[in-house]
A and B are shown apart, each in its own frame.
Chain A
């Protein structure tokens, strides 16, 4: 059974072809990596899946449903969560509020009951707080910063808060754009551990873009390589590593004399 399928995705901005006929499928329980040189179109793939970009051609299937024409907020409610390359936390809110916001689509409080903050609205908030504390903040080890504004946090912690927010969305598929970019070895190890735990304990399928080849080789199950908007290779990490097209894209061709 396929959880997420991208079929013949083609995206162009004016005359610039960003993606041409990219297809792949993600099975449940996988850690699925998308790699490729800078500007290859990796983030554009995630943006299409998340709904921020509309592809000119091709379809996207999620959970046996065609989501190609569904708005981003409804895709989020269906279980597509996203973390960003350049952190996109809400700077005016505390860590706790940022994480709570992730649950937005699964809460029910409407405008009028929020004005009163009474009965069901209050119970829902308390239940949310308990869940966020017990299943997310404890898990990601960020108890000590829960009441701090996110703008004051160090980069590595901000990345972790962003992951926490994505987890609060109760995702089926977690789209991660460079989760360990700019991190030192220790932070990278922590993040890799969290990603593995999320996959194993929470049945979350992970689609990630990453440049850190060691991490890709260590934790991913399936790798897709894109270059100039085209898929050039797919397979398990070993296969991809020795694929001639991939070597060419990353290292260049041997010059003929």
Chain B
């Protein structure tokens, strides 16, 4: 139960983590994340790595779609741009991982700015179709710009290393991903503590009055596209270095839609929601797969029916979630916290 939560300075009132209890839990979470790779098996670490990449990508998309209201169907393509940038820079120029990581973000951000330029004139579904076009064009480029991307064969990457320290194993790379995910989440949360983030939300809620409040719409929409595709590019670079291979099949339209699903299930316009959504969309299908796999012992033939069933159950889960909690997992979490704030009393 939380009582006596009074603030004496504006700085304390503006803090993100406002009470000692919250900071304690956050510390415990950090500790758990640090210990995790030493106790978990290879498979779990791999899952954690994939989830971490999804978190970076989902936070990026949420800045653009959830907070600024610009629906994007090209997020996977920007990840692809980042992944190919890092692969090409690594294999051709031999640049170290620490350099390719920000560079892949920058290249993806430039693509994002170009794709975002029509947002001056278009909004809503029309912009959505424009970003879909970007997805298709970039997809096409990945396949057919053979001299650069090696087409459908893709590019193999050597294991990354930082200052001579090899990150070949999933365990070592885990720390890179977790650190980057934490940085990305923190940076995005910070945006929304300043005028930049307020401008984003204002554009989403009412763009006409936002402009009359002194916000340069075009500039801030481009900022949102830039931040979003920068993070997508970094996520793509992480994915490339994790899988050690890049092919066009890693970044289909379906992945863009999956990222949209992540932020919708997690909570549009919520940083925490992007994390929840990324975890949900990555981990739940795996849980379904392994739990349905247990039934395989009963009858080997059964997998023929169970395999498509996974997808059906997963789809149903999303629908049920959205019906009962349209504001996503973040809103569920908020209500849960509100309940325990007074627990064990009713009010």
Contact at B190–A82, with CB atoms within 8 Å? no
A151's nearest neighbour on chain B, judged by CB, is B205
How far in angstroms is the closest Cβ of chain A from B271?
13
Are A52 and B212 in contact, with the CB atoms below 8 A?
Answer: yes
The reply to whether B14 and A126 form a contact with Cβ atoms under 8 Å apart is yes
A84 and B223 CA atoms in complex are apart in Å by 27
Residue A105 CB within 8 A of the other chain = yes
Q: Does chain B have a CB within 8 A of A92? A: yes
A212 → B minimal CB distance (Å): 23
The answer for the CA separation of A103 and B214 in the assembled complex, in Å, is 9
Within residues 1 to 43 of chain B, which ones have a CB less than 8 A from any CB in chain A?
10-11, 13-14
Interface of B is mostly: helix
Interface residues on A, range: 35 or more
* Bound CA–CA A52/B201 (angstroms): 20
A1 close to chain B: CB less than 8 A? no
Q: When the two chains form their complex, are residues B212 and A103 in contact, meaning their CB atoms are under 8 A apart? A: no
Known: A101-B202, A129-B14. A121 touches B214 (CB 8 A): no
Return the CB mask of A73-94 against B: 1 if under 8 Å, else 0: 1101100001010001111110
Inter-subunit contact B212/A116 (CB<8 Å): no
Chain A residues lying within 8 Å of B226, measured Cβ to Cβ, are: 111
Near A by CB (< 8 A), chain B positions 183-211 give: 187-188, 190-191, 193-199, 201-202, 204-206, 208-211
Task: Tell whether, in the assembled complex, residue B187 and residue A73 are in contact, meaning their CB atoms are under 8 Å apart.
Answer: no
B200 to A: closest C-beta gap in Å: 10
A126 touches B11 (CB 8 A): yes
Q: Check B195 against A114 for contact (C-beta < 8 Å).
A: yes
Most B CB within 10 A of own CB, among A88, A92, A116, A165: A92
Q: Could you tell me if A109 and B196 are in contact, using CB atoms closer than 8 angstroms?
A: yes
Min CB–CB distance A176 → chain B (angstroms): 13
How many B residues are at the interface, by size bracket?
A: 20 to 34
Closest beta carbon of chain A to B120's beta carbon, Å: 12
B217 on the interface (CB 8 Å rule)?
Answer: yes
- How far does the alpha carbon of A104 sit from the alpha carbon of B202 in the complex, in Å? 11
Q: Does A58 touch B at the CB level, under 8 Å?
A: no
Q: Is A109 touching B195 in the complex (CB atoms < 8 A)?
A: yes
Q: Measured between C-beta atoms, what is the minimum distance from B213 to chain A in Å?
A: 6
Q: Is the CB of B204 within 8 A of A115?
A: no
* B269 in the interface (beta carbon within 8 A): yes
| B290 interfacial contact with A, CB 8 Å | no
Q: Measured between alpha carbons, how far is A171 from B161 in the docked complex, in Å?
A: 55
Q: Is the CB of B197 within 8 A of A114?
A: yes
Complex CA gap A134/B193 in Å reads 20
Q: Contact: A114 with B190, CB < 8 Å?
A: yes
CA gap between A162 and B47 in the complex, in Å: 48
| Interface pair B199/A110, CB less than 8 Å apart | no
What is the bound-complex CA distance between A211 and B14, given in angstroms? Answer: 41
A18 lies within 8 A of chain B by Cβ: no
- Residue among B188, B194, B213 with the highest chain A CB neighbour number at 10 A: B213
Which A residue sits closest to B269, measured CB to CB? A92
The answer, yes or no, to whether B166 is at the interface (CB within 8 Å) is no
- Top 9 A-B pairs, shortest CB-CB distance: A105-B214, A76-B214, A117-B190, A88-B209, A90-B205, A114-B194, A114-B196, A115-B187, A129-B10
15 A–B contact pairs at CB < 8 A?
Answer: A50-B212, A52-B208, A71-B211, A72-B211, A73-B216, A82-B209, A91-B206, A97-B198, A101-B195, A104-B213, A107-B194, A107-B195, A109-B194, A126-B14, A130-B10
B interface vs A, CB < 8 Å?
A: 10-11, 13-14, 187-188, 190-191, 193-199, 201-202, 204-206, 208-217, 223, 226-227, 269
